[in-house]
Chains A and B, each alone.
Chain A
Amino acid sequence: MDTLPARPATDPGYNFGYLDEQTKRMIRRALLKAVAIPGYQVPFGSREMPLPYGWGTGGIQITASIIGPADTLKVIDQGADDTTNAVSIRRFFARVAGVATTERTAVATIIQTRHRIPERPLSAGQILVYQVPQPEPLRQLEPREAEARKMHALADYGLMHVKLYEDIARFGRIATSYNYPVMVNGRYLMAPSPIPAFDNPKMHRMAALQLFGAGREKRIYAVPPHTEVQSLDFDDHPFKVWRADRCCDLCGAPDSYLDEVVTDDKGGRMFVCSDTDHCAERRGAGHRGPLAGHALQEIAEGKS
């Protein structure tokens, strides 16, 4: 169920994809460099976009620079296609590029995302564009940009492990649950953007191209297809993935990342897939969770 008619007319007042061709060329150059040096943050001349900084301008500029009339675009925020900002960005591209949009992961050629990687494995030829609020994984430990860049240049990453050490000393485990730092291709430390650590393993040797755009911080970086992406850890405290110990109440998926939804003020909860397309596809194939159907109806009406 696509929300938009395919290929609406573009706004004649603006260039295809909003950005002028010189700007697109500049961004494509930065993208090429980023792909050539996996995980390295390439500074680029980020432009002011008609959406605010922090609302996905980095991802939007990348998408605007790589999208063509034949592309099919999917935009998700928190895994869902129908969150307001995802709707807004999809509408923007429908308006300035006139491309077909979709909610189906399988048929999208470009997927712009905030905070999630789709559950369905991506395939060669697809491009995943991440919106990144803070590209620098060392920022909370080293606020100076000049010093952080030097640390990357020298692969001087002991400080990052100091942070993990402190977690284990205090909590008995690594207490980072999202934006969990990764080493890319054994060389550059990289912020995966605020995806849950649950999604980190999907980045490793992904068949699709992964592009990261931070508009406000003016950085682009990339993970080319099939590149090694390792989450930082210790030999005796290996990286572990966590999710709510439940299945999706709608589609019954036992292995997807779940949103917790508060259903009343008496402790009522339900858990549903954060990836709305994944959930819909499973339900379409006949899978049912514990609260699908009548039980769900009752919750919504405040009974039981």
Chain B
Amino acid sequence: MSGSNLALKLVPRIGEQNAKHTIDVKMSRQGTRLDSKKVNSELFTLTYGALVSQLLKDYENVDDVNKQLERMGYNIGIRLIEDFLARTSSGRCYDFRDTADKIQMGFRLFLGVTPSITNWSPAGDEFSLQFETNPLTEFVELPDHCLNLKYANVLTGVIRGACEMVQMDVTSWFVQDQLKGDNVTELRIKFIKRLEDAIPAGED
């Protein structure tokens, strides 16, 4: 691996020097013989996988990896909500059930999966999203030593970040995970409170 890496670094440098001595290559093909949608979704899945494995290398503790994934998800979520609102032009939620529908819609829009909404708590402040399939974990098997890893923990962060941007404090966690042998992947989401006049962090 290190050998090929070295070669890779050299290629662009030589390329720069010799750029003026190169000649054009005719590329006849237009369009693509590949399924662009599939390529992009695999690219996303595999990039995420490479990220998780890099994090596992960088941190000694699996819990820290989970935390870092959540943090990254949060950062994605606070930006993603804008895109969601722009695409769906959806207004305010009347209640938490409404929110649940919107979150479900978000998953369909961005990940192409439709989780089912189940297991409402009697108070109506907690529900589960059940995934038959999870595009993030398509090519994944957890090795024995990282059974504590919440592979798709980025999702909990995304939900927290996105909801925070619309003045809702929610928390979520995985109850079941297909990677750990469960039949479905279940993500539990709990409403904590409404954020009134939220002041951005670090400005108070």
The answer to whether A and B interact is: no
Which chain B residues have a beta carbon within 8 Å of chain A's beta carbons?
A: none
